[in-house]
Structure 1
Amino acid sequence: MDLDLTAADFCGVVLAGGTAARMDGIDKASVELAGRTLLAHAVDAFLDADEVVVVAPQSVPTERPVTFACEDPPRGGPVAGLLTGVDALLRRPRLVGVLAVDMPRVTAATMRRLRAAADGHDGAFLVDRDGRRQLAGVLDATRLADVRPGPEQQHGMALHRLLSPLRLASVPAGGEEGLDIDTWADLRDLGG
């Protein structure tokens, strides 16, 4: 039996390249919550991942080794970020996890639930109390490649448009999992 050393079961992509317009343009990855950066919280969510890529225009130190990448041009939105992250992976995963850096209550347990829910589907995403899809999910890497748009379409493309042909399971957020930090008030409310 040949063993493919470049293959992986699960890899993660952290999207950290947003403009943070409602937070004075600060680098959200470096914002601290409970004494740790939002990036550290996001990387922790991928505890079970074979590899993690952080898509951001600048790098923030991490406790765990990660690969940093940036879409070209930078700040291309979640689709460009996700696909840039996938392209930067050193291994070919079966499943790709994606997480916005500003969702610090998503944990490794959340990602495990998403991976379990993705079984028999093209992926699974966390949904909030109102049923809105959050930027925390798991996708079958082969199916993602099937719907991948050309490079000229990726920049600024809405994530729901990319995902619309896929059969995705919805996983209700528990507790504060579905909360993101868009404003300074959001950070304060989460204890930052």
Structure 2
Amino acid sequence: MGTYAAVVLAGGAARRMGGVDKPARPVGGRPMRDRVLAAVTDAASRVLVGPVDVVPPGVRVTREDPPGGGPVAAMAAGLALLDPGTTVVALLAADLPLLTRAAVGELLLHLDSDSATAPPAPTAGTVVSSAVVSSAVVSSAVVSSAVVSSAVGAGPGESGGGRRPDGACFVDADGRRQSLCGVWRVAALRAGLDRLAAERGGSLAGAPVRALLAGLVVREVPWSGDGPPPWFDCDTDEDVRRAEEWAR
């Protein structure tokens, strides 16, 4: 896979933690957002979207409009800072303390892999999937995983062997898509943002991620590598305690 950028979303309200600055909470002695940024140090550019004063060198900071406007508004703010030639971006929540460079690398390889295994074109509103076992060499380690390609809300002719995936993201053990632990084609995201803004009268505040990704071809990747799941996010104090145990 070629050069990519990374946008890390750190503007959530953390209501289940009493409104604390969740991404600043340490896991393994480092703030969660710094651990996420460390997983994408090989990115051509890194953007953090959220209220933060100190970031690692080279990281650009911006805020969503309005502040607290949700992940889709934050995505739009982050994408606006990318270099014009950027074609692929990793979209990552800032509360993924177990994310690794190898995991991001696996997603990039799946995004760039042959889409000939994608399912036939579905009818509108359907989800079609197929599992394809593949191996990828990531950071000199061989990682095997099942790749699931799906088109959500796609119309006839929008999926299938002739269309490459617009994004690749991990899914958890129950098959739930972890959209903010994925890599995406910038053009597809920008088209989705323009469409969603038009549908919502120009505002992206409060827009759901599912609505943004509707119609995109997404390659869903179950994690089967060594170590804890990279998609594990910390929404509660108990989640942080679990992440601490894994990070030891």
TM-score (norm 2): 0.70
RMSD, aligned α-carbons: 1.7
Q: Give the equivalent residue in structure 1 for 2:237.
A: 184
Aligned-partner Cα distance in 2 for 1:126–1:10 = 18
Question: Residue 172 of structure 2 contacts residue 231 of structure 2 at CA under 8 Å; is this kept in 1?
Answer: yes
Query: 1:76 offset after TM fit, Å?
Result: 1.2
% identical aligned pairs: 35
Please list the CA deviations of residues 97-153 of structure 1 after superposition, one character each: whole Å capped at 9, or x if unmatched. Answer: 100011111111111111111123111011111111112111111111222232734
* Aligned equivalents of 1:145, 1:21: Cα separation in 2: 29
Distance 1:38 1:90 in 2: 26
Structure 2 gap ranges (5+)? 113-163
Q: Which amino acid aligns with 2:166?
A: D
- Bigger radius of gyration: 2
One-letter amino acid of the structure 2 residue matched with residue 27 of structure 1: D
Q: How does 1:1-192 map to 2 (within 5 A)?
A: 9-56=3-50, 58-119=51-112, 120-134=164-178, 135-148=180-193, 149-150=196-197, 152-174=202-224, 175-191=228-244
State the TM-score, normalizing by the size of structure 1: 0.89
1:143 and 1:132 map into 2 onto residues whose CA distance is 21
> Does structure 1 retain, via aligned residues, the 8 Å contact 2:65–2:74?
no
Report the AA paired with residue 190 of structure 2: A
Unaligned residue ranges in structure 1 (runs of 5+): 1-7
Q: Distance in 2 between matches of 1:80 and 1:173?
A: 28
Q: Is the 8 A contact 2:17 2:235 kept in 1?
A: yes
What is the aligned partner in structure 1 of residue 160 from structure 2? none
- Which amino acid letter does the alignment assign opposite residue 38 of structure 1? M
Structure 1: 4+ residue segments shifted above 6 A: none
Q: Residues of 2 paired with 1:127 and 1:60: CA distance? A: 32
Task: Show CA shifts across 1:54-74 (max 9, x none).
Answer: 000x21423332110001111
Measure, in 2, the Cα distance between the counterparts of 1:46 and 1:64.
13
Whole-Å separation in 1 of the counterparts to 2:62 and 2:56:
17
The question of whether the paired residues in 2 share the 8 Å contact of 1:29 and 1:60 is answered with no
